[in-house]
Amino acid sequence: MMTSTARSSYLLRAGLVRNVRSGEHLTTFVVSGVATVLITRLFLGLSGYPQIGGKGLHIAHVLPGGLLMLVAIVLLLGYVGPVVRPAAALVGGVGFGLFIDEVGKFVTSDNDYFYQPAAAIVYVIFVLIVLGTRFIATRRPIDPREQLANVVDHAVEGVAGGLSRRRLAQASQQLRQVGLDVAGRQETRELLAACPADEVELAAPVDAAWQAVQRGFDRLATHRYAPRVAVGVLVVQAIGAPLIAAGIRFDDGLFTDFPVLGVAAGSLLSATFTLRGWLQLRKGNRARAIRLFELAVLVSLLVTQVFQFAGTQFAAVGGMLLDLVLLGLLGAERDRMRRQETEAAKAKTWGLPPDASRPPFPEDPSDPV
């Protein structure tokens, strides 16, 4: 059986190096795509579904969607370095949202834009995108050589146009995670040091937005009432989702009983994880409780909300957004606990003899690595 290390070496030799910021870019793509679908549906509904064209012509919004995806591809193929990727993810997500919004026309013989399961199809497609890319990113740990390649990617920007102190700090932080025995580390360190200083940065609204969101989640996650509010919201969702699904029985559509059963099953499973998480929280096992709460939210996103969209179409958006906020809060709390454990582990090593294979601790902040 091929080991993970062997697979990693083969993929790296093939040039398949993963981007350590792929999660951020994927989130930008998915959020912009989902937002585009919702805004498009809202605008068309408020304006009476106007048609662009005339005299037998109709310009569907799938066409500008395709053009925006083309723009994103051109940006990725035409430029190197990390600067262009957030913009490409945003533009590509908007284009994909305009494209996938018309899926009802593609799967029905009468080109029915209002096909009832269309909302569920759109939701499932975005879920599959997230699951597929997360599988690629997390099925094996980031190889030190991949980490080093990402540092070199920062250096590409610095060699051409210089690096600001913030960009240099980001690259240096990544380089510190690369072992001293990795080939090319020293040369990469020297390359970063040789990059000219340039405090002028292109506007990066996408990066700034995600940094603001992350800071907001970090502040909310440390609030004293955050665990209680999270549990309360999960309980309300577990009770409210089946009540909403019960109203679906009064519809005469094709998908009547199936969404109700799916919502009920998902809500029951989510409630089970919520109860177990609450019990763990009462016992003082916060890490285990956070993990169980995350499972409850993921079940709601991947099971309950799918059937909600199938039954109520885009009326299920509120529950989806609430789940995403909860997932962000729980993720911020998990990362905070992980940082605390790392700092505690470092504190325990202060009394040990220095390791000759590692740089001195703490490192000089003026040193670029």
Smallest Cα–Cα separation from 111: which of 58, 65, 68, 64?
58
| 48 φ, ψ (degrees, to nearest 5) | 80, 25
pLDDT beyond 70 at 136:
yes
Report the pLDDT value the prediction gives residue 56, as an integer from 0 to 100: 67
3-class DSSP string for 2-48: CCHHHHHHHHHHCCCCCCCCHHHHHHHHHHHHHHHHHHHHHHHHHHC
Report the pLDDT value the prediction gives residue 359, as an integer from 0 to 100: 43
Q: Between residues 4 and 58, which one has the greater pLDDT?
A: 58
Tokens of 207: 């990066």
Q: Give 53's pLDDT tier (boundaries 50, 70, 90).
A: low
Report the pLDDT value the prediction gives residue 340, as an integer from 0 to 100: 76
Q: What does the pLDDT average to over 197-215?
A: 73
Greatest mean pLDDT among 33-42, 85-94, 130-139 lies in 85-94
- The SS3 of residue 58 is strand
Percent of the chain with pLDDT over 70: 82
Report the pLDDT value the prediction gives residue 128, as an integer from 0 to 100: 87
Smallest Cα–Cα separation from 327: which of 315, 317, 335?
335
pLDDT digits (tens, 9 = 90+) for 354-369: 444 444 434 444 455 5
Q: Between residues 54 and 31, which one has the greater pLDDT?
A: 31
| DSSP symbol at 247 | G
pLDDT beyond 70 at 137:
yes
Q: Give 247's pLDDT tier (boundaries 50, 70, 90).
A: low
Kindly report the pTM of this predicted structure.
Answer: 0.73
| 287 φ, ψ (degrees, to nearest 5) | -60, -45
Q: In whole angstroms, give the CA distance from residue 269 to residue 292.
A: 11
Q: Rg of the chain over CA atoms, in angstroms?
A: 24
Smallest Cα–Cα separation from 193: which of 237, 157, 155?
155
pLDDT beyond 50 at 99:
yes
Whether the Cβ atoms of residue 353 and residue 166 lie closer than 8 Å to each other: no
Report the pLDDT value the prediction gives residue 69, as an integer from 0 to 100: 95
Boundaries of every domain in the chain: 16-138, 144-198, 207-337
The average confidence (pLDDT) of the chain is 79
Q: In whole angstroms, give the CA distance from residue 126 to residue 302.
A: 11
At a CB cut-off of 8 Å and minimum separation 6, what does 306 contact?
120, 123, 124, 127, 262, 266
pLDDT digits (tens, 9 = 90+) for 251-266: 544 445 677 777 888 8
| 53 φ, ψ (degrees, to nearest 5) | 145, -140
Report the pLDDT value the prediction gives residue 366, as an integer from 0 to 100: 43
| Count of C-beta atoms within a 10 Å radius of residue 167 | 20
Q: What does the pLDDT average to over 337-347?
A: 70
pLDDT beyond 90 at 75:
yes
Q: In whole angstroms, give the CA distance from residue 367 to residue 168.
A: 10
Tokens of 299: 């079940």
pLDDT beyond 60 at 346:
no
Tokens of 324: 């995403």
Whether the Cβ atoms of residue 336 and residue 222 lie closer than 8 Å to each other: yes
Smallest Cα–Cα separation from 154: which of 187, 185, 195?
195
pLDDT digits (tens, 9 = 90+) for 151-204: 888 888 788 878 888 888 888 888 888 888 888 888 888 888 888 887 776 666
